[in-house]
Chains A and B, each alone.
Chain A
Amino acid sequence: MLRCRVIPCLDVADGRVVKGTRFVNLVDEGDPAELAERYAAEGADELVFLDITAAPERRGTLLDIVERTARRAFIPLTVGGGVRTVADMRDVLRAGADKVSLNTAAVADPTLISRCAAQFGRQAVVVAIDARRRPARDATDPPSWEVVVKGGRESTGLDVIAWTDRAVDLGAGELLVTSIDRDGTGHGFDTELLRAITSRVRVPVIASGGAAGPADFVSAIVDGGADAVLAASIFHRRIHAIADVKAAMAAAGLPVRPVPEAVA
């Protein structure tokens, strides 16, 4: 049976892992390759590496760090941030990524998704969707979310559900869904947002944004229907160990991969 995945996220700015609230007030959390090795040893099922300050001149640094990270952690690595072309995706895969996450560039040109999927297979194409809840006009209004880009700084007017359907049609093999409202707040995942997406699509969905404790991870899967759960600061700061999160998931009857014995 397929295991529910626990995924530490490395947000990288200028070669260092950072974390802030709602993509601002960044705090240094360490070296990406060192953290990757630590998480692999502690039982992480996969790693996501996002270059949150991606810009063309940083491309060289990014590829160098991806390669250093890939060499030290023998678990899968998804890399996002600044991938704008099929050639960019090839470079990132060749540097040691197993999957590439597309976000802003895919919103600007959705055919990027289909072109990347045709070349590398849809299983290598993750579409990251940053969602912001729209204010309800009245109590009977069903919830809805808007796609935001550039780390939540820019609205697109796109409806999250419509964009989800389009991205999957074009060849997204996995969705990384971040609630911008919850990101960094510790208020738990937006399970309504997750359920609205997982009830429609067959591709795996990674829940992101808002994890505070092990119970939130369980809820993202049980209530939100997510296949994988992602968090950053609670792992970086050792607020919760991956083993604790997996123990809570196992206690809730969810299939998890056992953590290595040295850690458990």
Chain B
Amino acid sequence: MSAVPRIAVVDYGAGNLVSIAQALTSIGAEVDFVRDGQALAGSDAVVVPGVGAAGPAMERLRQQGLSDPLRAWLAADRPFLGICLGLQLLFDSSEEDGAMMLGTLAGTATRLVDAPTLPHIGWNQVIRRRPHPVFDGIEDGADFYFVHSYAAAPQPGPDDEIVLADTTHGGTFVSAVARGALLGVQFHPERSGSDGLRLLGNFVDLVRAA
């Protein structure tokens, strides 16, 4: 594949796309904002950023004709990064708005348990369960920026193996998952300073190698 990967950043109507686009561009990727399913075709990777509430977000993906093309992209195990809500959308359903989601990963998005403050807003440590190249050059336990009230709860059983890292805010929740070419992070790498940029750079390297 080309030296400059083309990354489709899914634009589903709300939220900050400037930061993720700027971050990806600064580490050598070419970014296209994608608003419909056909537009995914020429891309080397797809990024679904974290915006809004689960119900309205899923509704917009459906209205824009993006939900089925995204499911197909994920089923083909093509490079993918879901950020915050973009991670939660990969699961079957969410407690937030009772939304039905993409269903690529087995499990639900649930409200954070025993959280002393909610939403969970700020910098917290990401503790790895297993090594993965997306964390190359980043210390285990490094701080990343979170802003959310819900988190992915993968179905217990074999799918637990998808969990890459956990974070504790009262209770412990899943803060990163990986399966094949799919990556999902509950935190915002595009807002997490130099470690965040390094993680995105590692993702772009994985896309280049794919």
Interface of A is mostly: loop
Neighbouring A residues of B147 by C-beta, 8 Å: 76, 98-99, 123-124
Kindly provide the distance from the CB of B53 to the nearest chain A CB, expressed in whole angstroms.
Answer: 4
Neighbouring B residues of A117 by C-beta, 8 Å: 53
Of all chain A residues, the one with the shortest Cβ separation from B196 is: A74
Specify which of A5, A95, A119, A121 is in contact with B123 (CB 8 Å cutoff).
A5
Q: Mark A145-180, 1 if CB is under 8 A from B, else 0.
A: 000000000000000000000000000011000000
Neighbouring B residues of A46 by C-beta, 8 Å: 122, 145
| Distance, CA A81 to CA B130, complexed state (A) | 44
Neighbouring A residues of B191 by C-beta, 8 Å: 74-76, 98
Whether the pair B118, A2 counts as a contact (CB closer than 8 A) is no
Known contacts: A75-B191, A76-B191, A118-B53. The answer to whether A94 contacts B17 by CB under 8 A is: yes
Q: Mark A68-95, 1 if CB is under 8 A from B, else 0.
A: 0011001110000000000000100111
Whether the pair A120, B14 counts as a contact (CB closer than 8 A) is yes
| Distance, CA A96 to CA B49, complexed state (A) | 13
Known contacts: A70-B16, A74-B23, A94-B17. The answer to whether A227 contacts B117 by CB under 8 A is: yes
Neighbouring A residues of B52 by C-beta, 8 Å: 119-121, 124
Interface size on A, residues (CB 8 A): 40
Q: Mark A1-34, 1 if CB is under 8 A from B, else 0.
A: 1111100000000000000000000000000000
Specify which of A70, A94, A203, A228 is in contact with B15 (CB 8 Å cutoff).
A94
Kindly provide the distance from the CB of A91 to the nearest chain B CB, expressed in whole angstroms.
Answer: 10
Neighbouring B residues of A174 by C-beta, 8 Å: 119, 121
| Distance, CA A40 to CA B119, complexed state (A) | 23
Known contacts: A123-B148, A203-B118. The answer to whether A74 contacts B123 by CB under 8 A is: no
| Distance, CA A174 to CA B56, complexed state (A) | 21
Q: Mark B115-129, 1 if CB is under 8 A from A, else 0.
A: 111111111110000
Q: Mark B84-112, 1 if CB is under 8 A from A, else 0.
A: 01000000000000000000000000000
Neighbouring B residues of A258 by C-beta, 8 Å: 143
Which of B85, B147, B190 gathers most chain A CB within 10 Å?
Answer: B147
Whether the pair B18, A95 counts as a contact (CB closer than 8 A) is yes
Whether the pair A45, B16 counts as a contact (CB closer than 8 A) is no
| Distance, CA A122 to CA B148, complexed state (A) | 9
A59 at the interface (CB under 8 A from B): no
Neighbouring B residues of A5 by C-beta, 8 Å: 122-123
A257 at the interface (CB under 8 A from B): yes
Whether the pair B117, A202 counts as a contact (CB closer than 8 A) is yes
Which of B18, B115, B125, B143 gathers most chain A CB within 10 Å?
Answer: B18
Specify which of B18, B115, B124 is in contact with A3 (CB 8 Å cutoff).
B124
Known contacts: A75-B191, A118-B56, A119-B53. The answer to whether A70 contacts B18 by CB under 8 A is: yes
Neighbouring B residues of A121 by C-beta, 8 Å: 51-53, 85, 149
Whether the pair A93, B193 counts as a contact (CB closer than 8 A) is no
Of all chain B residues, the one with the shortest Cβ separation from A198 is: B117
| Distance, CA A130 to CA B18, complexed state (A) | 30
A260 at the interface (CB under 8 A from B): yes
Whether the pair B122, A227 counts as a contact (CB closer than 8 A) is yes
B3-39 contacts to A (CB < 8 Å): 14-19, 22-23
Neighbouring A residues of B168 by C-beta, 8 Å: 1
Whether the pair B143, A67 counts as a contact (CB closer than 8 A) is no
Of all chain A residues, the one with the shortest Cβ separation from B144 is: A257
Known contacts: A119-B56, A121-B52. The answer to whether A98 contacts B123 by CB under 8 A is: no
Q: Mark B122-161, 1 if CB is under 8 A from A, else 0.
A: 1111000000000000000001010111000000000000
Whether the pair A2, B17 counts as a contact (CB closer than 8 A) is no
A110 at the interface (CB under 8 A from B): no
Q: Mark A54-70, 1 if CB is under 8 A from B, else 0.
A: 00000000000001001
Whether the pair B188, A119 counts as a contact (CB closer than 8 A) is no
Pick 15 A–B contacts, CB within 8 A, sort by A.
A67-B18, A70-B18, A74-B19, A74-B190, A75-B145, A75-B192, A76-B191, A93-B16, A94-B15, A119-B14, A121-B53, A123-B121, A173-B149, A203-B117, A204-B117
